[in-house]
Structure 1
Amino acid sequence: MTTVPHRPRTFSSTLDRHDCRALLASESVGRIGWAAGSGQIILPIAYVYAGAIIGFRTSENSRLAELCRPTRVAFEVDCLDQVRSEGDSVLVQGITRAAQDGGHQPDWADLVVPWDGGRRQLAIEINITRITGRRIRRHPESF
C-alpha cells in the first residue's frame, strides 16, 4: 500500500507590480517559451532584469537565436520553498528583439552570466508588455 504524503493547506494571492519586479530583479535564471515552427519551445535562460526589458545572451547557432526577430514570448521566474510548500511566481509576456545597436553590446550584456559557459555574443531583449504574479503561502492552520 502506498501512502500519499500530507500536503499542507495553502492559499494564493496576486503579486502587485512592485513585488513582481522585485522577484525579477532578485533572480537570475528563468524559462522562456514561444511558438516555434516545430512546436512550442520552453528553455531555461540566465537573464538580467533592466526595468522595461529582460535581457539574455545566446550563441548565433542556438535555438534561442531565432528570437532576434520580433517574437511573442512568455517568460517565467519562480522563487520556491519546497519544504514549506510556498513560493512566488512571475509571468512576463513580451516581444523579443536583437539588442545590439550598430554591433555594440547593450549596457546590461556583461551582467548576464550564462550557466553553460561558452561564447554568448548575441544579446536579445524581451520588451515587457504584461507582467503578472502570484504568491502561494501555507494556511496558518497548517503549521
Structure 2
Amino acid sequence: MSENLNDPVEELDQETCWELLRTASLGRIAVSFQGEPEIYPVNFIAVDKRLLLRTAQGTKLLKLTINDKVALETDSVGAHSAWSVVVKGTARAIESQNEIDAANALPLHPLIPTLKYVWVEIKPTEITGRRFQLAPEPERY
C-alpha cells in the first residue's frame, strides 16, 4: 500500500480482490429493473472464482431473472485504511440439484432468520478493487 498521502489510493490486482472477497460476507447487489437502479444488502460467499448468495422468492429474485446484469460491492473500513471491491457480472438462479447440493454444503447462512431457499450464482465479467489510506484524525485539544 502506498504510504504517500499524496497518493492514498492503491488499485488492487485480481488475486488481491479475490482474497478480499473470500474474507467478506456482506455486500450490496445492484440490479436494474425497467431502467431504474436498485440496491439490496446480501450476504454471499466467494468460491471457485464466482459469488454465491441465497435469497427468497420475491422482488429481488424476479429482477435478477429479468435482467441478469448485476454488480456486487463489498468493503471494509479499519483504523488506518479501507478497501472496496466491485464485481460486475451475470446472475442466474441455480436450478440443478447437483449444484444446489454443492451450494448447500458451503458455510453460508442467512444473517437474518428468514427462509432463503434459492441460490444465485454471479459469474464475474469484471472485478476492480481499491485500498485507501485514511487521513489521520485531527488532534483535539
TM-score range, shorter chain: 0.7 to 0.9
Q: Does 1:129 align with 2:125?
A: yes
- Over aligned residues, Cα RMSD in angstroms? 2.6
Percent identity of paired positions between Structure 1 and Structure 2: 26
- 5+ residue gaps, structure 1, are 1-7
Q: Is the 8 A contact 1:79 1:89 kept in 2?
A: yes
2:52 and 2:25 mapped to 1: Cα distance?
A: 10
Partner of 2:44: 47
Once residues 128 and 25 of structure 1 are traced to their aligned partners in structure 2, the CA distance between those partners, rounded to angstroms, is 14
**Which position in structure 2 is the counterpart of 1:97?**
92
Matched, 1:79 2:94: no
Q: Report the Cα distance in structure 2 between the residues aligned to 1:52 and 1:70, rounded to whole angstroms.
A: 21
Paired with 2:11 and 2:70, the residues of 1 have a C-alpha distance of 21
**Among residues 9, 27, 31, which one is paired with 2:28 in the alignment?**
31
TM-score when normalising by structure 1: 0.80
Q: Give the drift of 1:68.
A: 3.8
For these two proteins, the number of residue pairs brought into alignment is: 132
TM-score, length-scaled by structure 2: 0.81
Residue 88 of structure 1 corresponds to which residue in structure 2? Answer: 83
| Residues 86-127 of structure 1 deviation map (CA, whole Å, 9 limit, x = unaligned) | 201100000001112048614133422111222100111111
Runs of at least 4 residues off by over 6 Å: none
**8 Å CA contact 1:10, 1:138 repeated in 2:** no
Report whether the alignment pairs 1:108 with 2:109: no
Deviation at 1:59, TM superposition (A): 0.8
The one-letter amino acid of 1:105's match is I
Question: Runs of 5+ in structure 2 lacking a partner?
Answer: none
Query: How many angstroms apart in 1 are the aligned matches of 2:17 and 2:94?
Result: 23
